[in-house]
Chains A and B, each alone.
Chain A
Amino acid sequence: MTMQALVQVLASGLLTGLIYGLVAVGLSLIFGLMDVVNFAHGEFLMLAMYATFGLVMVSGLDPVVLMPLVAALMFVLGGTVYVGVVRFAMRARANQGMVQIFATFGLATLLQGVAQYLFTPDYRSLSNSWLGGKTLDLGGIFLPWPQIFGALVSLAAFGGLFLLMTRTDFGRALEATREDQGAVALVGIDCNRVFALGWGLGAALVGLAGAVLAVFYYIHPGVGGAFALIAYVTVALGGFGSVFGALAAGLIVGLVEAATALILPPSLKSVGVYALYLLVVLVRPQGLFGRL
Chain B
Amino acid sequence: MAGTTITAAPTGSLPLDESARRFTAKRRRSLYVGAVVFAALAALPYAIRDVYLQNVLVLTLLYAALSQSWNILGGYCGQISLGHALYFGIGAYATSILFVNYGITPWAGLGLGAVIAALVALAIGWPCFRLGGHYFSIATIVIAEAGLLLVQNWDFVGGAMGVQWPFNPDAWATLQFAQDKVPYVHLALGLFVATWLVTYGVAESRWGYGWRAVKDDPAAAQSLGVEVFRSKMAAAAISAFFTAIGGGLYAAYVSYIDPESVMSFRFSLLFALPAVLGGVGTLWGALVGAVILIPITEISRSYLGGTGSGIDLIFYGALVMIVSLARPEGVLSLFKRTRKARNAEI
Listed in ascending order, the chain A residues whose CB lies under 8 Å from chain B are 31, 35, 37, 85, 88-89, 92-99, 101-103, 105-117, 120-121, 221, 225, 229, 232-233, 235-236, 240, 265, 267-268, 270-271, 274-275, 277-278, 281-282, 285-286
Q: Which of A35, A89, A108, A281 contacts B325 (CB 8 A)?
A: A89
Q: Smallest Cβ distance from B175 to chain A, in angstroms?
A: 32
Interface positions of B from 67 to 88, Cβ below 8 Å from A: 74, 80, 82
Of B90-98, B130-138, B196-204, the one touching chain A? B130-138
Which residues in window 316-343 of B have CB below 8 A to A? Answer: 316-322, 324-325, 328-330
Size of interface on B: residues with Cβ below 8 Å to A: 50
Question: Which B residues are CB-close (under 8 A) to A268?
Answer: 149-150, 153
**B320 contacts A285, CB within 8 Å?**
no
Assess the A113–B315 pair: CB atoms within 8 A.
yes
What is the bound-complex CA distance between A114 and B321, given in angstroms? 15
B279 to chain A, nearest CB (A): 9
Which of B18-26, B250-258, B306-314 has 4 or more CB atoms under 8 Å from chain A?
B306-314
Tell me the B residues contacting A by CB distance below 8 Å: 74, 80, 82, 127, 130-135, 137-139, 141-143, 145-146, 149-150, 152-153, 265, 269, 272-273, 276-277, 280, 308-322, 324-325, 328-330, 345
CA distance A147 to B150 in the complex (A): 28
In the complex with contacts A121-B308, A268-B153, A109-B316 CB distance below 8 A: yes
A115 CB → nearest B CB, Å: 7
**Complex contact A232–B325 (CB within 8 A):** no
Structural contact, B137 and A101, CB atoms closer than 8 A: yes
A86 vs chain B, min Cβ distance (A): 10
A236 to B309, CA, bound (A): 35
A212 to B345 Cα, complex, angstroms: 46
The smallest C-beta distance from A220 to any residue of chain B, in angstroms, reads 12
Query: Do the beta carbons of B138 and A116 come within 8 Å of each other?
Result: no
Which of B137, B319, B324 neighbours the largest number of chain A CB atoms within 10 Å of its CB?
B324
Known: A94-B328, A233-B142, A236-B139. 19 other contacts (CB 8 A): A37-B134, A85-B325, A95-B328, A97-B133, A102-B276, A102-B324, A103-B324, A110-B313, A112-B317, A113-B312, A113-B313, A114-B310, A114-B314, A121-B310, A233-B138, A267-B152, A271-B150, A274-B149, A278-B143
Among A89, A95, A225, chain B packs the most CB atoms within 10 A around the CB of A95
Selected contact of A236 from candidates B74, B135, B316, CB within 8 Å? B135
Within the assembled complex, what's the spacing in Å between the Cα atoms of A106 and B297? 13
Q: What residues of chain A lie closer than 8 Å to B138, measured between beta carbons?
A: 37, 232-233, 235-236
* Interfacial chain A residues near B145, Cβ < 8 Å: 229, 270, 274
Once the chains are docked, how many angstroms separate the CA of A110 from the CA of B321? Answer: 9
Cβ–Cβ < 8 Å partners of A98 in chain B: 74, 80, 272, 276, 280, 324, 328
The smallest C-beta distance from A202 to any residue of chain B, in angstroms, reads: 16
Chain A residue at minimum C-beta to C-beta distance from B319: A106
28 A-B pairs, CB-CB below 8 angstroms? A85-B321, A85-B325, A95-B330, A98-B74, A98-B80, A98-B276, A98-B280, A98-B324, A98-B328, A99-B325, A101-B80, A101-B269, A102-B321, A106-B319, A107-B317, A108-B317, A113-B312, A113-B316, A113-B317, A116-B313, A117-B314, A233-B138, A236-B142, A270-B145, A274-B146, A278-B142, A285-B130, A285-B132
